[in-house]
Structure 1
Amino acid sequence: MELHQLQMLRELGELGSVKAVAETLSVTPSAVSQQISLLQRQVDTPLTRKDGRNLVLTEAGRVLADAGADVINAMATAKAAIGTYQQERNGSVSVSGFHSAGQALFAPLVRQLAAMRESGAAGDGASSGGGAPAVRLSDEDVAQHDFPALTARYDLVLAHRMDHSPAWPDSKIRVIPLAHEPLDIALSVDHPLAAKAELSPEDVVAYPWVASRSGYSPADVLTAVGAVASRPVNVVHRINDYSTVAALVSTGDVIGLLPRYTSSPALNPGVTLRPLTGISTRRRIDLLVRPENLKRSSVMLVAEALQQVMADMVH
């Protein structure tokens, strides 16, 4: 049984004629007759009978029409509930972020939402649609191809991919760009290469390295460094955590790769960054979200706040 069929049966009982139902629902009389006939095929008991030139409900028809009215009312209640849920600014929003993004963005995001909440309270946000979402934050440092699957568990997923890597599957998810971030060479401030303003693959390939595990952005760049310099790269340490990378780089024993913007919380005074020329080192930082979640005001507010936090960091 279709909802619109039950509605037509209900209206027939109320209005007393197919023509009146058609006019009320802005459809043709033949469309009304066709849908009621389709409904009749699904039950064994006659739902309508002829009364002169009019089609009226039988007793069974009235019972089904009354039950249909309850269904229509329940659906209206459900639609109203989902509408309220979608428009709720103060709803809870789950966000996952890979490690460097979490270190750089989570705390500023929480502060920005708190400021939004305070602003809404000062302006009587409870009655004017103000307020701000509550966020539930998690770190998920996965290989690049695994980020889209995280949208099944989180409302918003902070993800990154290198420029040359496959695009996100936008037929299933929506992509909100946040930044186009270079990966820079990380050096001890006392390192011989620190005197140069920029570095080439030939400059850096001979030194020992700390790099991420395979499948992550720094490892991809390091593979390109070896290819351009035509010699293997000596990777001593495989570490994904940028704070640990920065600590090792500061000893002067190894060099590494760190993102220009989002690694700032991991840096220490003993580390400096230099741009790498000759190969593409940029990665895209994006928000991945399922289309239905974009209908929620709270999710959009958090996405906009993350865009602002990133813009402030880049500029």
Structure 2
Amino acid sequence: MQKKLIILLIPLNKNYQLETSMDFGRLRALRELSVRKTMAATAEALYVSPSAVSQQISLLEQEAGIELIERRGRGVELTVAGRQLVERANRVFAELEAARTDIAELKKVVVGELRVAAFPTVAAALMPRTISALRKSHGQLIIQFDEMEPEEALTALRSWQTDIALIDDLNVPPGLLESTITILPLIDDVFNVMVAPDHPLAGRATVSLEELRDECWVNDTASANYNRMLTESCRKAGFTPNIVARSKGFEVAIALIRRGCAIAIMPGLRASLDLEDVWVCRLTPEIRRHIFIAYRQGEKRSPALQAFINEISGQARSLGRA
């Protein structure tokens, strides 16, 4: 949506009104700052430098003619004017998204661009199937995909940098989601144990967590919540995992597993891909996570969004049956 400027009439208090032209990027920066609390965290979420965020906020304060933030140690807090401006800007963003949805619904044609953010596991298992099917059924719809961890994807959704975020309850507990975000169940993912084909556990259908007490582990460090879940599960079983390797990517982890250097507990969706020279065992007791589709409420009637949801949900059902 290529809109840069809006006109706002915002009562900041009983005696003052602000009527000016404001840049969307600056309003988004202020909105994100209200959530992230520091310039550095806001810059990371918006993919810009901290100095760029600081400059955007300064320009916005010049436009408003009033201070919008206050420095608090290393962080910042919004002033009363800043909080009111964010509240009103949120309504404007929501109305614009609703207007875009209304127009798309009237056309009844699935066209345009849909931005999707998803973490690697679910993306590898479902995105290629979904994009391929949509190209055949809705040739005028362009899917723009970005790989993001669940928390990052949710931030991008809140900041209007993506239209759909695929998230899980391991990294984003549903109870912490904003009321403006709608989530739909997509698929459940059960964690498995992956070992080398000549490992003593190879050939087993199931394996208990206690049987992995003396193993060497490779750990995926992309998600701090995954690491916490793994460590806590092992401790409940009476041991601390002997992590001998840490990797941010699946390629390194699977190479170590294939050579018998380590074992790992991995999401079951990984096993839906072609894994050569790796044996997959079902873990007992079961560790399960729920994966959701998240989108902004104002866009729920968008034909493009509904087409994507219908397609990826169908692909997830097919994968579950397989």
TM bucket (normalised to shorter chain) is 0.5 to 0.7
TM-score after normalising by structure 1: 0.63
Structure 2: runs of 5+ lacking an equivalent: 1-97
Residue correspondence of structure 1 range 1-315 to structure 2 within 5 A: 83-86=102-105, 87-117=108-138, 133-141=141-149, 144-151=150-157, 152=159, 153-162=161-170, 165=173, 167-169=175-177, 171-213=179-221, 215-216=223-224, 218-265=226-273, 267-278=274-285, 280-315=286-321
Highest CA radius of gyration, 1 or 2?
Answer: 1
TM-score after normalising by structure 2: 0.62
Higher strand share: 2
Structure 1: runs of 5+ lacking an equivalent: 1-78, 118-130
d(CA) in 2 for partners of 1:145, 1:105:
19
d(CA) in 2 for partners of 1:216, 1:137:
23
Distance 1:217 1:263, change over 3 A: farther
Q: Deviations over 1:186-222 (max 9, x none)?
A: 1111111124321112101210101122744542342
Q: Deviations over 1:161-187 (max 9, x none)?
A: 239956451513100111111010111
Distance 1:81 1:311, change over 3 A: closer
Is the 1:104–1:263 Cα contact (8 Å) retained in structure 2? no
Distance 1:262 1:268, change over 3 A: closer
The percent of aligned pairs where both chains have the same amino acid is 20
**Cα RMSD, aligned residues only:** 2.5
Which SS does the other structure have where 1:109 is aligned? helix
The residue identity in structure 1 corresponding to 2:257 is V
Which SS does the other structure have where 2:206 is aligned? coil
1:132 deviates by 5.2
Q: Deviations over 1:23-57 (max 9, x none)?
A: xxxxxxxxxxxxxxxxxxxxxxxxxxxxxxxxxxx
